[in-house]
Structure 1
Amino acid sequence: MNRPIQLGLRANAAQFTLLVAINALVGGMVGQQQTVLPLLATDVFGLTGYTFIFTYVAAFGVTKAIANYVAGTFSDRYGRRPVLLAGWLFAVPVPLLLIWAPNWGWVVAANVLLGINQGLTWSTTVVMKIDLVGPRQRGLAMGLNEAAGYGAVAVTSLVAGYLAEQYGLRPAPFLLGLCYTALALLLSGILVRETRGHALLDAGRHGARADGLHDHLHAELSNREILTQTSLKEPALSSASQAGLVNNLNFGLSWGLFPLLFATADLSVGQIGLLFALYPAVWGAGQLVTGALSDRIGRKHLITTGMATQAAALAVIALGDGFTVWAAGTALLGVGTAMVYPTLLAVIGDVAHPIWRGRAVGVYRVWRDLGYAVGAVVGGIVADALGLHAAVWATAAVSAVSAITVAVRMYETHQPVPAPQRRG
């Protein structure tokens, strides 16, 4: 006998926890390669130009952005679970391509497939968690989701760096990805349940805001209208989209550039792995606090402060030239990102109607994950022309402008929802 659908974290604790675990595996697929691939580019394939080295980050970012849009559209049309399963099927060849790659083109191809995997799976787990918890604990849900994903990025980056140092750049680090993919397919295929029914229940209870905002965003919007509102017109949605793009511009730059910058100080592979893991580790752990905090104090000020903190952290990294200063800078960058990442997703959940929530999340994540490509290309061009430190300074300036934009344009989207009354 099927249990009645209920909204809330406690009522859906088992499925929510399962989806958190699956999203950790999604993050681990990125972490397996972040420390290793820049070193593989220089040491194995003899690449020297920064722009050329960053092609794999750009390929990943563009593909993931497109996959995000597909994930949002298909999850609203066909359901969340089929999209999640399809995403994991695209992950199967990724570690094998990286292990056997005879040239850099294979690495780029692997990152195209990885981008599809990440777009389909991460977008879908985000939407499914928003579906399950309802409006009252949206920030907490996104904090737990993103903490699991980026905590796994950090742990896997650290483990991959250790494996590379002990056993070589290939194949040991990429065996992690094979294990993650097998486990995720097993869990997604057997234990995950569809959550679109929860979204429909939420839609039935969806009421207008007391302040009149969002009244123009009625339940029936076309795909073009959702794209326009999320990208340009609606102040909170479009502010979140630009902040997300800049946030991942920073991440894309760090992915391709930080290992090379850190290597200029003659650090070991293990030390570089530790520095790189510190950023997503602080980011991941911090989201356990910041997601729930946004449910209490609101979204806007956390996002503004977070983008400003990222700008300051990048300035510290640009000024540094050794392990200690870079560790402080990457940790501060993680703090700023933790303030922003789950809170932006909560903003989308606050504003988007449950009927088109999946598509709004998809459009937001298109813009956010284009930041990978923008960071890789712009960072590579500036680094080639002016040096590695100049590329970091440029990104710090962009982050500061993003913080100002959010402060001026975004309104507070979170309205506290009273806890359900207990009977009896």
Structure 2
Amino acid sequence: MVGQQQTTLHLLAEQVFSLTGYSYVFAYVAGVLSDRHGRKPVLLTGWILGLPVPLLIMRAPSWEWIIVANVLLGINQGLAWSTTVTMKIDLVGPRQRGLAMGLNEAAGYLAVSLTSLAAGMLAAQYGLRPAPFLLGVAYAVLALVIVALLVHETRGHVALEAPSGRANLSNTAIIADVTWRHPALSSASVVGMASNLNFGLSWGVFPLLFAGAGLSLGQIGLLVALYPLVWGLGQLATGWISDHIGRKPLVVGGMALQAGAPAVIAWSEGMGGWVAGTILLGLGSAMVYPALLAVIGDVADPAWRGRAVGVYRVWRDLGYTAGALLGGLTADALGLHSAVWAAAVLSGLVTALVAYRLTESHPGLP
């Protein structure tokens, strides 16, 4: 659902709606509802709300329709993706938590990559609408059928886990821990937000930067797809690695790569440098993503795990908005290359912060 828009939406804004300026809490709601009422109903609701998204974009007579579609997409992501993460943590123990998170995130971001590539190819062959968004219709219908018929409730597995001794935290205390108070949980939120800031920037600025250099729709689709492709494939290994060497080395090293990758992209002037930069950015994201979710699973008590994942995802997914705002405002004021340099500097500062503050959370490691 995200991938269908990644290649085409900003070009649609320019070419169809003549928008030339460069210039969300449902993840937490999902956590509260899944802790209270079960995981499956929340997952099903998320996909019901996701079904209209591609239909609205296909038929949109004005940009306001696109905004409404993306509000629904945000709700869909907040409810559905947060719940799948919580369900997988329910189903596996701490020894294989990183592997499970890596498999979950790999499935998602490989789908983003492949759909970005497919949407670019369809747009080049058949135009920006409606062909690329027929993919989203098929995905939403398929997801609804799978959730309704095949997915089982996982909340009962929580009872099999030993409590952490912090089972009675209030909602306020959980928010405080994940936002600033607990070193591991709050560090995960900061890194997640910074990582998605880079993703938001890649979604909003990179296609315009590449188009301004004269690349074709097919070449832009390839570059935009390469980032989540490396991200998705890499997570097949990085989650498992975090189960063996710990979460912190993956988080700090991955954030350092994400600081260097935008600098490579901003410095480069051709396809070779942009390919290298997007590969580095994808590898850095692959290192941090499953490790961060494993940190939440390591620390959060089973009784409030869904809410912890929800708060983390609120901060993490605010990175999309922050990346769009940072990229848009900086690009309007100083140019597209300056927006990419700004992301590199900010990612470097976050790397230094978490290297100092993040504590190792793996229960089997010091």
TM-score range, shorter chain: over 0.9
CA distance in 2 between counterparts of 1:39 and 1:321 reads: 21
Partner of 2:31: 72
Partner of 2:45: 86
One-letter amino acid matched to 1:311:
A
| Deviations 1:62-110, CA, capped at 9 Å, x for gaps | x2xx110000010000000000000000011111110011111111110
CA distance in 1 between counterparts of 2:64 and 2:269 reads: 32
For normalisation by structure 2, the TM-score amounts to: 0.98
Partner of 2:183: 235
Match of 1:399 among 331, 347, 356: 347
* Aligned-partner SS, 1:136: helix
Match of 1:245 among 193, 196, 202: 193
| Deviations 1:4-49, CA, capped at 9 Å, x for gaps | xxxxxxxxxxxxxxxxxxxxxxxxx100111000110111111111
* Aligned-partner SS, 2:361: coil
One-letter amino acid matched to 2:26:
A
Match of 2:124 among 152, 158, 165: 165
Aligned length: 365
Runs of 4+ in structure 1 deviating by more than 4 angstroms, as ranges, are none
Partner of 1:413: 361
One-letter amino acid matched to 1:50:
Y
Match of 1:142 among 93, 101, 122: 101
| Aligned residue runs from structure 1 range 212-361, under 5 A | 218-361=166-309
Partner of 1:152: 111
One-letter amino acid matched to 1:383:
A
CA contact (8 A) 2:196 2:320 kept: yes
CA distance in 1 between counterparts of 2:22 and 2:240 reads: 39
* Aligned-partner SS, 2:95: coil
One-letter amino acid matched to 1:154:
S
Aligned-pair CA distance for 1:226: 0.3
Partner of 1:25: none
CA distance in 2 between counterparts of 1:324 and 1:408 reads: 34
> CA RMSD for the aligned pairs?
0.9
Structure 2: gaps of 5 or more residues: none
CA contact (8 A) 2:94 2:363 kept: no
Aligned-pair CA distance for 1:245: 0.6
CA distance in 2 between counterparts of 1:302 and 1:404 reads: 14
One-letter amino acid matched to 1:36:
T
Are residues 1:46 and 2:22 paired?
A: no
Match of 1:179 among 138, 142, 146: 138
For normalisation by structure 1, the TM-score amounts to: 0.85
One-letter amino acid matched to 1:196:
R
Partner of 2:86: 127
CA distance in 2 between counterparts of 1:353 and 1:46 reads: 50
Aligned-pair CA distance for 1:379: 1.2
Structure 1: gaps of 5 or more residues: 1-28, 52-62, 208-214, 418-424
| Deviations 1:172-202, CA, capped at 9 Å, x for gaps | 0000000001110001001100000111211
CA distance in 1 between counterparts of 2:363 and 2:87 reads: 21
CA distance in 2 between counterparts of 1:336 and 1:151 reads: 15
| Deviations 1:110-135, CA, capped at 9 Å, x for gaps | 00000000110000000000000121
